[in-house]
Every structure is written in C-alpha cells, then in structure tokens.
C-alpha cells in the first residue's frame, strides 16, 4: 500500500498544477485535469469546487489566491447574467469561470448557468462566497477587505436576493432543482437541506462581516431575525429519528388551524419502506427536504454535515448524525467515503424524479454515488463532535484507493466499489478534500475557519418565542 506521506505529496503536486492564473495572479483551480476525456467545462474554476482548495490554501498561509478569487468573483457578480434576454437576480454568483485569451489580452468569462447542462441556477455559489470570505477574514485578520465598499455592496446584493419576500410561508430558502452540488434534476427542488445549511452558514458569516453603520445595522437586524426562525424550523421539522418516525407513523392528516400537530400534512403512508428498517435505535438525521405533504426522507450527506459544522443542528442532533453514520457505515461510507445521498431512487421513481437521466441511474453519480470530496465535511463534522475516530477510519478507507484510481470524481454501486462510470480522473476537489480532511484532524484549531458555535441569539429568541 502507498504510504501516507507519498499520497500527501502526490496530492499537493496535483493541486498546485490545477491552479488557474489570470493576468499573472493565481485566482482559482480547475475542476479536473483528466487527460483521458474531453474537458467540457471541467477546465473551468467552479466556486463550490474551489472551496476545499481555498480552505487548504488558507490553512497553509497561501491566502493570496483566495483573496484574488474573492476579488475577481465579486467583479463577475455585476456582469451580464442573461439567458434569452432574461436577466437573473443581481446578487447571483457564477457557478464557474474561465480565462479567455483574446488579442494578447486575458478576460474572465463567467457561467451563471446559462451554459450549464439543463441551465441550472447555482444558488449555492453566493452562499459559499460569503462563507469563504469569512474564512479568509478568520485566517488573515484582514477585515478591511470585507469592509471595502464594493465588498459590502456585493454582500448586500446577495442578502437582498436570498432574503427577498417570495411566495413562501417558510423561513427556509425556496430553490429550483439542481441549485447546488447536485446540479441536475434529482427531485431536490423546494427547500433542500443542503441549501438551508449553506444559507444558515452564509447568514452567520454575513452577520460577522457587515460593517458598522446604518445600512449594515439594518441588514444585521434582518439577518438575525431570519437566523433564529430558520434554525428553529430546521431543528423542529426536519429532524428524523426513531421517536419522530413513530410520531409521523401515527400522524393524523387534514388538521386545520393553529393547533395542528402535523403542520405539513405528512401522510404516514409516505414513509418509505426502507426507512423503518434502516433507522437505528439511536442516531438520527435531518430530512432532505420539506414541503406540503412532502417529506424527502433520503439522507443527504453534505446538508447534514454542514448542519453540524455550522451549528444549524443542535448539539444533540449533531451527535446523533455522527452516530447514524457509524451505525450505517457500509451504506453511507462503504468502500469510499462517502455517499452523496441514501438510498438511490429506482425504477418509476427514477424516471419521474430524474427525467430518465442516464448519468443518474441508481447508485451512480448524484443518485447514491460515493464522492471522495465528502471526506472533508465528514472530518470537519467529526472534529466538531469529538468523533475523530470515525473520520480517521474513513481516511484509512479512502487511502487504499485514491491514488490508484487516479483521484476519481465519484464511485458507483451500493457500497462505492466501482469507479464511477462517467467520472473524471484527477478531480481537484477529490484531491483537496483528502488533504483538507487530514488538516482538520491534525490541526483541530483550523476548524474555526468554517465552523460556528451555537448561536446565543437563538437561545434568547427561543425563550422569548416559547414564553409566548
Ligand atoms: C458536476 C457536479 C458539480 C461540480 C462540477 C464540477 O457538475 O455535479 O457539483 O461542481 O461537476 O466538478
């Protein structure tokens, strides 16, 4: 077996090769450097893919590339985001960008989804941008960058877009399908957990970064208010464990008015068969999505782990999530940490939810595939909850295959034993995810770049709310 020091060295070499330069400055990393297949847009810098790289660069004191990335993507925010003459919201951040060479000059070209397969909106980009800006400030102490007028303006545009009044009764953010890491139709429209966890972390970041002054204070007040209700809503209604499942199983439907217990009118018959066997005696998780008469009972990994890291999940819930991962190890971690969601949708459900997507067949890609990039949020959540034993175990599993399989993007099969059918090799966030997971375990203090403690404002709000 390849030694850890060799793996780490190989990973760093590959990561350095993935860096994108613009007018002589490092500004990001390409998504993959696969020599075997056509690049399509994998030669671009994706916002979400750059996040683990950026955190790693910050930890290693190479903050310049992150600073450049934040500055350049901010200028892209104000560029044209048009498709067929329709203008998307101002605060939107691109899914990806690339450097274009023309007449001896270089330009950045952004993709806000108008080129992407399915023309999907990258809602997560502006959320990751805020989270990353806060991580940069944490690592460098350079609050001046965040306080620059153009940064404040960019933040406020994002907040306006995210906090705008919509046709919605919930404090969670309503998004179209494919608005985040799962950027294809997978039945993840509505109020998906991953977006809510990123939304929560982004709002907490913004609260720290808004400059003092009248405008900042107004936004801070709105952000504060939303944080508490969002937090309450997720903890109260998304949580699933054996006890909650029992409650749902005996729910009455059609309850009208304020005293309704089954507020979202979830019908017991919608509990999927797999869940009653699968839910352990101890341990639990946050549901994938919640809407009227609709609870997506699938386990979505990034949403759950980011909920732990950001303290969107309560302390008790966070520990239970880690416990569930331990108890359902072969389903969720298997031969490559870890599954993007569990279980896969199959047959008619696959046809309806994915639109017959051949890339998202059961137990492949977004439909229950295993993604090594998820090693870093696993390590972060494990560190936060004191379950580093689980993360080390996962790293050991990953180390057996990562280099041999040329840093594959994802794996297929129920336990992640097969290298993904259409996956890229030398995928940058696989490489960075491995290195970052090790950093979080070896240097626990570095987790503060990304994590948040329980929100004291939330506790105050709860007392106020419960006392009526
Ligand atoms: C795929 C993934 C997406 C990722 C992109 C680049 O489209 O679904 O999450 O950002 O590849 O790696």
Report DSSP letters for 378-435, one per residue.
Answer: HHHHHHHHT-HHHHHHHHHHHHTTTTTTTS-S-EESTTS-EE-TTPPSSBHHHHHHHH
Residue 285 has φ and ψ, to the nearest 5°, of -165, 170
For 37, how many CA atoms within 13 A lie in the half-sphere containing its CB? Answer: 12
In terms of pLDDT, which residue wins out, 124 or 83? 124
Specify the DSSP element, H or E, that contains 273: helix 273-278
What is the rounded CA–CA span in Å between residue 186 and residue 347? 14
What is the rounded CA–CA span in Å between residue 131 and residue 125? 10
Average pLDDT rounded to a whole number, residues 424-446: 98
| pLDDT at 340 (0 to 100) | 98
| pLDDT at 468 (0 to 100) | 65
Ligand 1: which of 32, 33, 37, 46 to mutate, most ligand atoms within 8 Å of CB?
Answer: 46
CA 110, chain centre distance (Å)? 21
pLDDT band, residue 80 (cuts 50/70/90): confident
What is the number of the ligand 1 atom nearest to the C-alpha of 95? 10
What is the rounded CA–CA span in Å between residue 219 and residue 155? 10
Q: Is 183 in the pocket of ligand 1 (CB under 6 A)?
A: yes
Please name the residues in contact with 241: beta carbons below 8 A apart, sequence gap of 6 or more.
279, 283, 284, 285, 320
Helix (H, G, I), strand (E, B) or coil at 179: coil
| pLDDT at 89 (0 to 100) | 85
What angle, 0 to 180 degrees and rounded to 10, lies between the N-to-C axes of helices 301-310 and 315-327? 140
Average pLDDT rounded to a whole number, residues 337-348: 98
Find the radius of gyration of the CA atoms of the chain: 21
Closest residue by Cα to atom 9, ligand 1, is 181
E strands along 372-442, which residues?
A: 411-412, 418-419
Looking up tokens 């683990």 gives 52
What is the number of the ligand 1 atom nearest to the C-alpha of 183? 8
Please name the residues in contact with 463: beta carbons below 8 A apart, sequence gap of 6 or more.
none
pTM of the model: 0.98
Q: Is 31 in the pocket of ligand 1 (CB under 6 A)?
A: yes
Lowest mean pLDDT among 11-25, 81-95, 183-197, 318-332: 81-95
CB atoms within 10 A of CB 248: 18
Q: How many residues does the chain have?
A: 468
pLDDT band, residue 280 (cuts 50/70/90): very high
pLDDT at 1 over 80: no
DSSP string, 19-45: EEEETTEEEEE-SB--SSS--TTTTSE
Q: What is the pLDDT of residues 377-397, one digit of tens each?
A: 999 999 999 999 999 999 999
The CA 421 to ligand 1 mean position distance, Å, reads 15
Average pLDDT value over all residues in the chain: 96
pLDDT at 442 over 70: yes
Among the listed residues 450, 375, 425, the one whose alpha carbon sits nearest the alpha carbon of residue 138: 450
| pLDDT at 64 (0 to 100) | 98
Average pLDDT rounded to a whole number, residues 454-466: 82
What is the number of the ligand 1 atom nearest to the C-alpha of 181? 9
Structural tokens at position 43? 């030669």
What is the rounded CA–CA span in Å between residue 409 and residue 416? 12
């Amino acid at each position: 077996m390849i030694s850890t020091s060799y793996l780490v060295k190989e990973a760093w070499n590959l990561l350095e090769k993935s860096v994108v330069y613009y007018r002589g400055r490092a500004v990001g990393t390409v998504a993959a450097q696969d020599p075997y297949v056509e690049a399509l847009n994998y030669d671009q810098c994706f916002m979400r893919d750059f996040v683990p790289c950026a955190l790693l660069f910050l930890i290693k004191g190479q903050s310049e590339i992150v600073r450049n990335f934040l500055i350049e993507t901010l200028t892209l925010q104000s560029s044209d985001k048009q498709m067929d003459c329709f203008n998307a919201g101002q605060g939107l951040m691109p899914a990806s960008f690339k450097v274009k060479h023309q007449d001896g000059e270089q330009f950045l070209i952004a993709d806000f989804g108008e080129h992407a397969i399915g023309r999907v909106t990258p809602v997560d980009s502006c959320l990751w941008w805020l989270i990353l800006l806060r991580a940069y400030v944490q690592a460098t102490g350079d609050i001046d960058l965040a306080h620059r007028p153009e940064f404040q303006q960019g933040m406020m545009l994002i907040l306006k877009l995210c906090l705008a009044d919509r046709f919605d009764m919930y404090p969670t953010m309503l998004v179209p399908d494919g608005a985040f890491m799962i950027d294809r139709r997978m039945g993840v429209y509505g109020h998906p957990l991953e977006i809510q966890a990123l939304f929560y972390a982004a709002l907490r970041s913004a609260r720290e970064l808004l400059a003092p002054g009248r405008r900042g204070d107004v936004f801070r007040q709105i952000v504060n208010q939303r944080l508490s209700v969002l937090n309450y809503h997720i903890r109260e209604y998304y949580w699933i464990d054996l006890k909650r499942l029992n409650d749902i199983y005996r729910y009455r439907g059609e309850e009208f008015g304020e005293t309704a217990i089954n507020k979202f009118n979830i019908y017991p018959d919608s509990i999927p068969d797999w869940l009653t066997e699968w839910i352990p005696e101890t341990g639990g998780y946050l549901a994938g999505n919640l809407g009227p008469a609709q609870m997506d009972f699938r386990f979505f990994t990034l949403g759950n782990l980011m909920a732990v890291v950001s303290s969107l999940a309560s302390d008790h819930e966070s520990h239970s999530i880690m416990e569930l991962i331990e108890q359902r190890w072969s389903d969720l971690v298997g031969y490559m940490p870890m599954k993007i969601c569990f279980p896969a949708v199959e047959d008619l459900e696959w046809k309806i939810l994915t639109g017959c997507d051949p890339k998202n067949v059961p137990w492949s890609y977004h439909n229950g595939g295993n993604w090594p990039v998820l090693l870093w949020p696993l390590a972060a959540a494990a560190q936060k909850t004191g379950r580093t034993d689980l993360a080390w175990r996962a790293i050991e599993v990953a180390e057996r295959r990562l280099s041999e399989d040329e840093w594959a993007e994802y794996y297929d099969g129920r336990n992640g034993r097969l290298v993904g059918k259409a996956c890229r090799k030398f995928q940058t966030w696989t490489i960075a995810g491995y290195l970052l997971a090790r950093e979080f375990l070896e240097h626990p203090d570095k987790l503060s770049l990304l994590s948040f403690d329980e929100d004291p404002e939330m506790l105050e709000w709860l007392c106020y709310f419960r006392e009526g």
